[in-house]
Every structure is written in C-alpha cells, then in structure tokens.
C-alpha cells in the first residue's frame, strides 16, 4: 500500500448518461470538469467515502457498483480511485465545490474539458455504458 491520500470519485450513471461536475474551486481547477467525489476520512472504505461525498456534494443517495481498475496521480501525495455508481434517489445539485452539473450521453463526453486525471476513468466508464445499456 502506498502512503498516498486516496481521493474517490464516482462515475454516476443514469439513463445511459454519465454525470459531469464543473469545479468552482480551487482557482487552478475552476471551470474544468470532473467525476464528483472527495478524500477518504480515517477508517472509511472507498465505497463508504464515495457515498458520503456524493451525498455532501450533490445531495443524492448512491450505490457504488464496481471499481474501475487503476489509480491516477493527482497533486503530490494524492491518488484518484474511481467507481461506477448507481443513483438511488435524489436529483443531483452542485452543493459544494461545483457550479454546474451535466448529464452526458456517451457521444457527448468529449464536449467538456475534463481534468486530465479523470480522462482515463471517464473513457472506461463510457466503454461500460456502451457495453451494458440499462434495461
């Protein structure tokens, strides 16, 4: 295990679309898009942190489904891990750290300026959306 701080993010999928969140802070990230999430608190699993973060940031209840393989370096000492997530209840709203949300169909994911570290996970989430359409 590394000593890196783990940041979790959710590829929230509903109706065959992926949720993108535009950062409002910090200034160097503002205006770029990401998969929503945040840092693990002590004693939390990745899945527990993700459910908590999505509740705090978006006001929704979610269920982590599957971790997307890999982890991506953020700023020094931080790594990003991403899960696919099912929306259980609520209508996502930009409550913290974001100023806009968009639901993107697979063919629309390249229409926003994703943070570099989110791009591999977004690409994998889109592959999974295409492979397993909701029934």
In this prediction the pTM is 0.90
**d(Cα 47, Cα 45) in Å, to the nearest integer?**
5
Q: Which residue has the tokens 């599957």?
A: 66
For the segment 11-60, what is each residue's pLDDT rounded down to a tens digit? Answer: 999 988 999 999 998 898 899 999 999 999 999 999 999 999 999 999 99
Angle 109-69-87 (CA atoms, 0-180°, nearest 5)?
55
For the segment 64-88, what is each residue's pLDDT rounded down to a tens digit? Answer: 999 999 999 988 999 999 999 999 9
- Multiple choice CATH, 5-131, 3.90.79.10, 3.90.650.10, 3.40.50.720, 1.20.1290.10: 3.90.79.10
């Amino acid at each position: 295990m590394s000593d890196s701080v783990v940041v979790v993010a959710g590829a929230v999928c509903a109706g065959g679309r992926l949720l993108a969140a535009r950062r409002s802070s910090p200034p160097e990230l503002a205006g770029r898009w990401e998969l929503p999430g945040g840092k693990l608190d002590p004693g939390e699993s990745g899945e527990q942190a993700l459910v908590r973060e999505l509740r705090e940031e978006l006001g929704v209840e979610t269920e982590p489904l599957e971790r997307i393989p890999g982890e991506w370096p953020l700023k020094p000492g931080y790594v990003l891990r991403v899960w696919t997530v099912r929306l259980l209840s609520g209508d996502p709203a930009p409550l913290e750290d974001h100023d806009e949300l968009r639901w993107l169909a697979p063919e629309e994911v390249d229409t926003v300026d994703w943070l570099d570290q989110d791009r591999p996970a977004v690409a994998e989430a889109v592959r999974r959306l295409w492979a397993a359409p909701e029934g």
